[in-house]
Amino acid sequence: MAKNLLLAGGGHAHMMVLANLGKFKEMGHLVTVIQPSPHHYYSGMGPGMLGLTYRPEEIRFATRRVVEKQGGTFILGKVAKVEPAANRVILESGETIAYDVVSFNIGSNVSGHVAAEKSDTIFPVKPIERLHEAQQLILRLGKTRPLTVGVVGGGPSAVEIAGNVWGLARKADLLPITIRIFARTSIMTSFPDGVRYHAINSLNRRKIEIIEHCAVTRVEPGKIEIDSRQSYGLDVIFIAVGVRPSAVFRNSGMAVGPEGGLLVNRYLQSVEHPNIFGGGDCIYFQDKPLDKVGVYAVRENPVLLHNLQAALEGRPLRSFDPGGDYLLIFNLGDGTGIFRKKWLLFDGRPAFLLKDYIDRRFMNRFQALE
């Protein structure tokens, strides 16, 4: 009997499912994919796109094309609410989509603890598409006058964004750009001292100003205000203060983790609703809290592929093993990077080249489906 599989989001954790939609069709099931854009952008290459290392088409998957090519249905939209008892989701447009089995990979949003007005000069680091808007604005303004760019946040995203704005200015031969990072505590506080040293040294070498131990209380077009009531004038502002899961699950009255992510068991399955699954940043793994890094979404791929097929067919599920330590490489925007895996740590050009190779290989693998 044909059943309806619904995929909310076409991100990293759903890549293998998207690559195998034809198999679901062969099994006699219908597949629908909902996503707010025809493309899914790879966040790991977003700062590089900002810095002119990559073109937008090099860092995105043509989700709609892949789905429709394999006989699936693609809906351009965004899930606003889930009604598990009725086996349906409601989109922001008001449209209702029914399912027999659903999997969520709807990602995360920039944390909202910084009061920021909506503006065409203020850019949260997600969605990734907005980094291209920021790039175009900086290119347009920076050819006519010196600019001051602010980055709110002190984590890896803030470091990569600041470094790639610097790289953008050099590659495009723009007029001088002053770059300031506003960190609530210190730069890269959750990482070992060696990582922090390399990051700070890179920023200092390029005269990117680091303002630490300041709480940004308000962001508005043209300036930010910090807790000392001091304000800074800025032409372009990036918000990189960390991410948290979509509020969809909490707003739907479902079981969630501390930050609002869908609470899932070892099968990546909702602890309340056995026909609901999820992966990536939008879930909270009950057995062990997971860092919000893409490697876990990639590791979840084969488990979600197996378990969605099993849920449709009434077969046993497979448990997810998060695995051990993972590789981290940061793109500093000047052709160098920082590499860290367990005890191994180094920076420089080789680190960036390795990241570039890994990222391009990952993209090429799934872009080939297009």
Tell me whether residue 162 is in a domain. yes
Pairing of strands 60-61, 40-41: antiparallel
Q: Within this chain, do residues 197 and 334 fall inside the same structural domain, yes or no?
A: yes
Domain that holds residue 105: 4-36+77-109+244-313
- Give me the mean pLDDT over the 330-340 stretch: 97
- Give me the mean pLDDT over the 343-352 stretch: 96
168: pLDDT strictly greater than 80: yes
Neighbours of 78 (CB within 10 A): 17
Question: What is the pTM assigned to this prediction?
Answer: 0.92
Q: Within this chain, do residues 95 and 117 fall inside the same structural domain, yes or no?
A: no
Q: Within this chain, do residues 208 and 344 fall inside the same structural domain, yes or no?
A: yes
Tell me whether residue 60 is in a domain. no
Integer Cα distance of 128 and 119 in angstroms = 16
Q: What is the pLDDT of residues 238-265, one digit of tens each?
A: 999 877 788 899 999 999 999 899 999 9
The model's confidence at residue 369, banded by pLDDT at 50, 70 and 90, is confident
Q: Within this chain, do residues 121 and 226 fall inside the same structural domain, yes or no?
A: yes
Q: Within this chain, do residues 27 and 98 fall inside the same structural domain, yes or no?
A: yes
337: pLDDT strictly greater than 70: yes
- Give me the mean pLDDT over the 226-246 stretch: 89
Q: Within this chain, do residues 165 and 202 fall inside the same structural domain, yes or no?
A: yes
The model's confidence at residue 370, banded by pLDDT at 50, 70 and 90, is confident
| Upstream peptide bond of 322 is cis (omega within 30 degrees of 0) | no
- From residue 90, give the alpha-carbon distance in Å to each of 82, 95, 105, 195: 6, 6, 16, 44
Q: Within this chain, do residues 193 and 90 fall inside the same structural domain, yes or no?
A: no
Q: What is the pLDDT of residue 291?
A: 86
Q: What is the pLDDT of residue 134?
A: 97
Q: Within this chain, do residues 30 and 163 fall inside the same structural domain, yes or no?
A: no
Whichever domain contains 302, its CATH number is: 3.50.50.60
Tell me whether residue 320 is in a domain. no
Residue 256 DSSP code: B
- Give me the mean pLDDT over the 125-154 stretch: 96
* Closest to 135 measured CA to CA, from 46, 50, 197: 50
276: pLDDT strictly greater than 90: yes
* Closest to 370 measured CA to CA, from 18, 24, 34: 18
The model's confidence at residue 112, banded by pLDDT at 50, 70 and 90, is low
Tell me whether residue 280 is in a domain. yes
Q: Within this chain, do residues 95 and 130 fall inside the same structural domain, yes or no?
A: no
The model's confidence at residue 113, banded by pLDDT at 50, 70 and 90, is low
Integer Cα distance of 174 and 307 in angstroms = 51
Q: Within this chain, do residues 215 and 349 fall inside the same structural domain, yes or no?
A: yes
Tell me whether residue 173 is in a domain. yes
Q: What is the pLDDT of residue 349?
A: 98
Q: Within this chain, do residues 250 and 206 fall inside the same structural domain, yes or no?
A: no
CB within 8 Å of 17: residues ≥ 6 apart: 7, 103, 301, 304, 305, 308
**Structural domain count of the chain:** 2
Go through the chain and tell me how many residues it has. Answer: 370
List phi, psi (to 5°) of 237.
Answer: -130, 135
